[in-house]
Amino acid sequence: MNATVLMLLVVVVVALVAITVFFVLRSREKPAAPQQPAGVRETGLRLQLARTRTAIGGRLGTLLRSDTLDDRFWDELEETLIAADVGVATSASSVNAVRRQKPNDGEEARRMLEGALIDQMSGRDRTLHLEGSPAVVLVVGVNGTGKTTSIAKIAGLLGEGGRTSVLGAADTFRAAADEQLRTWAGRVGVDVVSGAPGSDPASVAYDAYQTAVSSGADVVLVDTAGRLHSKSNLMDELGKVARVLRREAGEIGEVLLVLDGTTGQNGIGQARSFADVVGVTGIVLTKLDGTAKGGVAIAVEQELDIPVKFIGVGEGVHDLVPFDPQAFVEALLEP
């Protein structure tokens, strides 16, 4: 076999190997995910509020395609908002505001309704007030609202903004509270100060504040026991925690009440009880991804005159987000 033939054979073998390798690698690639048609994809807040959005959209879909805006139309529009826990008074005032503008059709009525609901929540201070060195944030609420996880998530948000935090585990009565707070604190990289089981919550709050002072932390966030708002002695103890913190810090920057969005209007009674004891300055509304009654965010503000500052829309560290009324209403009502 001469050199030319041998060279030709080598080239053919190399080519066959290259072709084989190419097709093997190509067969292992995952097929591209099919693309959804434009307008179908749901992302962000729209997806996180899917249950409320579906509940409202299912009733509004046919209604808002109507060109006949008669009494039945306006009654059904109001009932749809009430079913989403927007609240009777807020639903009625918003629908009446739209009706007075005399929209020409259902789509124009929807746009006007968005504006009316956003107007209901405009002008409120939703900033997190962090005056003091360290600033003090007291977090209250009944058991099961997501209070402990919300505290750590707020610390995570502060950390992303360059602020350091210390967490005070002043829920000394629930055995798993300290462990739960430490687990979440580890995820966001902040320190926790706790006491012995059953110890005085006010003393833990004091220790947490002093630790924040000595370490130069920017903020101390104090967790409290999930008080039943009907138990006066426990509420009195919560008041003691607040008094100790005010004595040490001069003021409490924020008292955040965590409410479970799935409880709907029932949370409003809780909020009033806590506001009487510790002076609530802001609402954290959790679990809005798991309820068809997300309109309660609007009702809470209107009935209590307390701003919603954060909403919880999932289990992840970044699923507690600052409340934006316009984005919220658009996520619920826009097609």
pLDDT at position 38 is 32
Quick one: pLDDT at residue 317? 86
Largest Cα separation within the chain, whole Å, is: 103
Does 212 lie in the same domain as 64? no
- In one letter, which amino acid is 11? V
Q: How many domains does the chain have?
A: 2
Domain co-membership, 235 together with 161: yes
pLDDT tens for the 335 residues of the chain, in order: 555 545 555 555 555 545 554 444 444 433 333 233 333 233 488 788 888 877 777 777 778 787 789 999 999 999 988 888 888 988 999 999 999 999 998 889 989 999 999 998 888 999 999 989 999 999 998 888 889 999 999 999 999 999 999 999 998 887 778 888 889 889 999 999 998 888 899 999 999 999 999 999 999 999 998 766 667 777 788 889 999 999 999 999 999 999 988 887 777 877 888 888 888 999 999 998 888 778 888 888 888 889 999 999 888 888 899 999 999 888 888 77
Q: Are strands 282-286 and 219-224 parallel, antiparallel or unpaired?
A: unpaired
Whether 12 is in a domain gets the answer no
Residues 178 and 92 in one domain: no
Contact status, residue 199 vs residue 172, Cβ threshold 8 Å: yes
Question: Is-contact 49 294, C-beta < 8 A?
Answer: yes
> Which letter does DSSP use for residue 315 in this model?
S
User: 85, 120, 155: which is the final residue of a domain?
Assistant: 120
What does the pLDDT read at residue 204? 94
User: Does 18 map to a domain?
Assistant: no
pLDDT of residue 214: 96
Evaluate whether residue 16 is within a structural domain: no
CATH of the domain at 116: 1.20.120.140
Is residue 313 a part of any domain in this protein? yes
Is the same domain home to 110 and 143? no
Are 146 and 113 contained in the same domain? no
Among residues 120, 146, 162, which one ends one of the domains?
120
Please tell me whether residues 168 and 310 are part of one structural domain.
yes
| 22 lies in some domain | no
Residue 234 lies in a domain: yes
At 237, which CATH number? 3.40.50.300
Residue 259 located in a structural domain: yes
The confidence score (pLDDT) of residue 133 equals 92
Query: Do 88 and 186 sit in the same domain of this protein?
Result: no
Q: Are residues 312 and 167 in the same domain?
A: yes
Residue 278 covered by a domain: yes
pLDDT of residue 15: 55
How far are the Cα atoms of 66, 214, 235, 245, 252 from residue 228, in angstroms, in the given order?
Answer: 47, 34, 8, 21, 22
3-state secondary structure 2-32: CHHHHHHHHHHHHHHHHHHHHHHHHHHCCCC
- 86 and 231 belong to one structural domain: no
What's the confidence (pLDDT) of residue 325? 92
Q: 163 and 85 share a domain? A: no
Residue 140: domain span: 135-323
Same domain, 163 and 295: yes
pLDDT for position 34: 29
84 lies in the same domain as 200: no
